[in-house]
């Protein structure tokens, strides 16, 4: 049963992870908004965890195996595309192939997705 | 018959004619007994094809006999029409009335063409919210239109229903029904014309909304009723734990059917959201959407005038696999004094219902690789041995998310008594992951898992066409395909079954034996409709070409070429006749 308390906690965590500009009391440091480069260390792992959940919410429909293998969409694990390219693709999409998420996801959410993609092991299919 | 007469009378008469075989025309006769522009949703007695499923009976059957199994080898291309901007291919079902072929392409572009020559008569390109379209996943295809009361009706992916004058293409009204800017989804399915109303269902499923179905006044465009497929009644509200009904999914994204005898609109509904449910076996009391989740993955009967629920059957209570009931065909036939309706479910089973109240008469299995349940009780429809998916990894779930059957329609021939349907054989591995629906600022897919399609154990993924008794499922013949065909089928009184396949071949089979009797290469895969009609004394076959549906998008990784390189921005109407 999804009780209101659980929902509230999940929402607080989600908001903290994705939107808070500074580390919050909820012990879920937000990704830095200051630098466009991929997050590092502990922040990166938190980003990747948040990105993993968001990926399984929305992106896994096309990028199969959690982005580890090709399916409707291309394999993402081990991609050599730079962050700027990935960010732009998430933001603007590709006509007839991938939706544009720029109006739906925050910058922090998009960077969390990239952190998740970077965390994937590139294993042969 | 004239357009002034009532649709119910016309439909009822058409059904009586069919029941007695009176509709079977002589070869090539071009008549207008269906009456152009009338509100009738009749069977194609005069060679017209006036509603998505060919008739209210969903037979996808033409009584025309000029093209038949003896002369089909002389079938040649008569004309071709390219709509342009065919993103994700041409997925729609053309309609024909009084010598005019109407169809819609991607972005809800509507065309009216001379059915004998393909000469354009008019076109209508609605101005869409392109920013919204760019943000949509299940878009920008439009799978069909409806005709009635002198108008063409088309839904748009940005949540509108538009009526156009059949003769001129000028808009008569344009009604916004869904807040697509907020919910992201809109309309991709064909409307259904019933009496004086246009019925259309919203997208839904893994999209966190409440999946409305609308009844709209055909004359004015005014919304008359709205039925919510998620918790649309007090009874249904009790089947959603907590506030999960607010984001339950559902929807009715394919056109259904209509039974004039009960005044019931039959409609299939989409799956609940999230797609996959980490509650596992405890789904009745815990997880993201505890309970049966009515009326998702159900068939429902709505009063055509009021939209009130008359009856329903939930094919998969608490669907945890995305095997929804949105397949639109409701094959209506009579047997042994019983009035039946046959409805395929994406999970691979075919349900047979009593038309008076949707009580289950039989359930039979079409797809071979099924392990999400051990079975379905043929007397009650109850699921036996559910495979509920707890948090974590699972292997070899069958069928795969693409289903044991897809949304395109099969066909039924009253001459052979056989139901022709494509089955799909594939499985998948998945990892169920807890998710939180994204609702702001714009709703997003809510999946709850990552997954990967794979071959079934001991064999390759593939598809098959079979001719079966629609009530018992007894198989008369079967033809195997290396990849599942994804387009609708067409049966004709000329003893033919047409199968537009995924590689791009349009194939014709002997309806009695399953022997292939003709094939033509259209040069690109098929993922849309096919009809037969008569114009100016000749019989024609019209098929939509083009590739790139969300199921078809799986083929490159699963099957390789020709799918890896198959264009996803092309498509045309290709029309055939005897040379």
pLDDT at residue B165 above 70? yes
Domain that residue A92 falls in: 33-119
CB of A5 within 8 Å of any CB in chain B?
no
pLDDT at A44: 65
pLDDT at residue B462 above 60? yes
Beta bridge partners of residue B342, listed in sequence order? B331, B352
pLDDT at B501: 98
Average pLDDT, chain B: 92
Model confidence at A38, in pLDDT bands (50, 70, 90)?
Answer: very low
pLDDT at B54: 96
Q: Is residue A9 part of a domain?
A: no
Domain count, chain A: 1
Model confidence at B238, in pLDDT bands (50, 70, 90)?
Answer: very high
Q: Is residue A17 part of a domain?
A: no
**Dihedral pair phi/psi, residue A77, rounded to 5°:** -60, 130
Q: Mean pLDDT, to the nearest integer, of B377-396?
A: 97
Respond yes or no: is residue B322 known to be catalytic: yes
CB of B272 within 8 Å of any CB in chain A?
no
CB of B239 within 8 Å of any CB in chain A?
no
Instruction: Answer whether B451 sits within 8 Å of A60, measured CB to CB.
Output: yes
Q: Is residue A55 part of a domain?
A: yes
pLDDT at B36: 36
Model confidence at B41, in pLDDT bands (50, 70, 90)?
Answer: low
Model confidence at A123, in pLDDT bands (50, 70, 90)?
Answer: confident
CATH number of the domain enclosing A56: 1.10.760.10
Angle B143-B276-B228 (CA atoms, 0-180°, nearest 5)? 50
Instruction: Answer whether B557 sits within 8 Å of A70, measured CB to CB.
Output: yes
pLDDT at B436: 87
Q: Is residue A68 part of a domain?
A: yes
Q: List all residues 6 or more positions away from B524 whose beta carbon is below 8 Å from its beta carbon.
A: B89, B504, B545, B546, B547, B566, B567, B570, B571
Region B7-282+294-578: CATH code: 2.140.10.10
Determine the Cα–Cα distance for residues B102 and B415; give it in Å rounded to an integer.
Answer: 28
Q: Is residue A14 part of a domain?
A: no
Instruction: Answer whether A70 sits within 8 Å of B556, measured CB to CB.
Output: yes
pLDDT at residue B28 above 70? no
Task: Using alpha carbons, select from B318, B421, B410 the residue that is nearest to residue B372.
Answer: B318
Q: Is residue A41 part of a domain?
A: yes
pLDDT at B46: 72
Q: Are B527 and B559 in contact (CB under 8 A)?
A: no
Helix axes A4-19, A107-119, angle to 10 degrees: 90
pLDDT at B143: 97
Q: Are B315 and B299 in contact (CB under 8 A)?
A: yes
Helix axes A107-119, A41-58, angle to 10 degrees: 100
Q: Which residues of B touch A100 (CB under 8 A)?
A: 131, 134-135
Q: Mean pLDDT, to the nearest integer, of B26-38?
A: 34
pLDDT at residue B29 above 70? no
pLDDT at A46: 72
* pLDDT tens track for B3-21: 222 333 333 333 333 333 3
Which of B431, B554, B569 has its CB closest to that of A66?
B431
Does ipTM surpass 0.85 in this model?
A: no
* pLDDT tens track for A40-95: 455 666 788 899 999 999 999 899 999 999 988 999 999 999 999 999 999 999 98
Q: Is residue A52 part of a domain?
A: yes
Q: Which residues of B touch A68 (CB under 8 A)?
A: 452
Instruction: Answer whether B453 sits within 8 Å of A70, measured CB to CB.
Output: no
Instruction: Answer whether B88 sits within 8 Å of A96, measured CB to CB.
Output: yes
Model confidence at B250, in pLDDT bands (50, 70, 90)?
Answer: very high
More confident residue, A124 or A51: A51
Alpha carbon B310 to its chain centroid, in Å, reads 22
Shortest distance, CA B154 to any CA of chain A (angstroms): 21
pLDDT at residue A4 above 90? no
Q: Is residue A110 part of a domain?
A: yes
pLDDT at B8: 31
């Amino acid at each position: 049963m999804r009780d209101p308390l659980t929902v509230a906690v999940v929402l607080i965590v989600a908001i903290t992870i994705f939107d808070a500009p500074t580390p919050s009391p909820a012990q879920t440091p937000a990704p830095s908004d200051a630098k466009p480069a991929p997050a590092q260390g502990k922040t990166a792992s938190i980003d990747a965890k948040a990105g993993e959940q968001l990926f399984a919410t929305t992106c896994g429909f096309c990028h199969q195996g959690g982005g580890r293998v090709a399916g409707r969409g291309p394999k993402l694990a081990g991609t050599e595309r730079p962050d700027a390219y990935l960010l732009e693709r998430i933001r603007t999409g590709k006509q007839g192939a991938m939706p544009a998420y720029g109006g739906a996801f925050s910058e922090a959410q998009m960077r969390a997705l990239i952190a998740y993609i970077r965390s994937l092991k590139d294993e042969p299919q | 018959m004239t357009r002034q007469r009532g649709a119910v009378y016309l439909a009822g008469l058409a059904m009586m004619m069919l029941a007695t075989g009176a509709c079977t025309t002589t070869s090539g006769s071009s008549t207008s007994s269906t009456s152009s522009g009338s509100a009738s949703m009749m069977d194609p007695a005069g060679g017209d094809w006036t509603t998505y499923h060919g008739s209210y009976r969903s037979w996808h059957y033409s009584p025309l006999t000029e093209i038949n199994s003896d002369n089909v080898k002389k079938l040649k291309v008569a004309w071709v029409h390219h709509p342009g901007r065919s993103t994700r291919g041409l997925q729609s079902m053309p309609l024909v009335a009084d010598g005019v072929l109407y169809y819609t392409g991607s972005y809800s572009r509507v065309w009216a063409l001379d059915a004998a020559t393909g000469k354009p008569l008019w076109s209508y390109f609605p101005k869409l919210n392109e920013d919204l379209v760019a943000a949509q996943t299940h878009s920008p295809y439009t799978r069909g239109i409806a005709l009635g009361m002198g108008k063409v009706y088309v839904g748009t992916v940005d949540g509108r229903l538009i009526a156009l004058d059949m003769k001129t293409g000028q808009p008569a009204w344009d009604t916004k029904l869904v807040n697509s800017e907020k919910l992201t989804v809109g309309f991709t399915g064909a409307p259904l014309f019933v009496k004086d109303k246009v019925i259309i269902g919203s997208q839904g499923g893994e999209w966190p909304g409440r999946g409305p179905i609308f009844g709209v006044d055909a004359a004015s465009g005014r919304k008359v009723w709205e039925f919510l497929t998620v918790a649309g009644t007090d009874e249904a509200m009790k089947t959603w734990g907590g506030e999960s009904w607010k984001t339950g999914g559902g929807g009715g994204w394919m056109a259904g059917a209509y039974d004039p005898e009960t005044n019931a609109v039959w409609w299939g509904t989409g799956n609940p959201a999230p797609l996959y449910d980490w509650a596992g076996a405890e789904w009745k009391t815990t997880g993201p959407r505890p309970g049966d989740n009515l009326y998702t993955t159900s068939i429902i009967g709505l009063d055509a005038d009021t939209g009130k629920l008359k009856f329903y059957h939930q094919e998969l209570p608490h669907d945890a696999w995305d095997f929804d009931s949105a397949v639109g065909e409701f094959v209506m036939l009579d047997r042994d004094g019983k009035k039946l309706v046959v409805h395929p479910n994406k999970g691979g089973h075919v349900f047979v219902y009593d038309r008076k109240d949707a009580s289950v008469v039989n359930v039979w299995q079409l797809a071979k690789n099924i392990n999400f349940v051990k079975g379905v009780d043929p007397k009650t429809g109850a699921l036996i041995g559910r495979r509920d998916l707890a948090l974590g990894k699972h292997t070899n779930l069958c069928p795969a998310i693409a289903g044991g059957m897809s949304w395109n329609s099969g066909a039924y021939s009253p001459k052979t008594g056989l139901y022709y349907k494509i089955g799909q054989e594939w499985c998948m591995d998945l990892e169920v992951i807890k998710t939180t629906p994204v609702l702001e600022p714009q709703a997003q897919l809510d999946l709850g898992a990552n997954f990967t399609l794979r071959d079934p154990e001991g064999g390759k993924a593939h598809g098959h066409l079979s001719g079966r008794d629609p009530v018992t499922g007894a198989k008369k013949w079967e033809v195997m395909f290396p990849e599942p065909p994804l387009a609708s089928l067409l049966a004709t009184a000329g003893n033919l079954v047409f199968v537009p396949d995924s590689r791009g071949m349009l194939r014709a089979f002997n309806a009695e034996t399953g022997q292939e009797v003709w094939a033509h290469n259209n040069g690109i895969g098929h993922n849309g409709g096919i009809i037969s009609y008569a114009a100016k004394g000749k019989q024609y076959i019209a098929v939509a070409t083009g590739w790139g549906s969300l199921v078809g998008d799986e083929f490159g990784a699963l099957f390789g070429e020709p799918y890896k390189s198959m264009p996803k921005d092309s498509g045309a109407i290709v029309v055939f006749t005897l040379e």
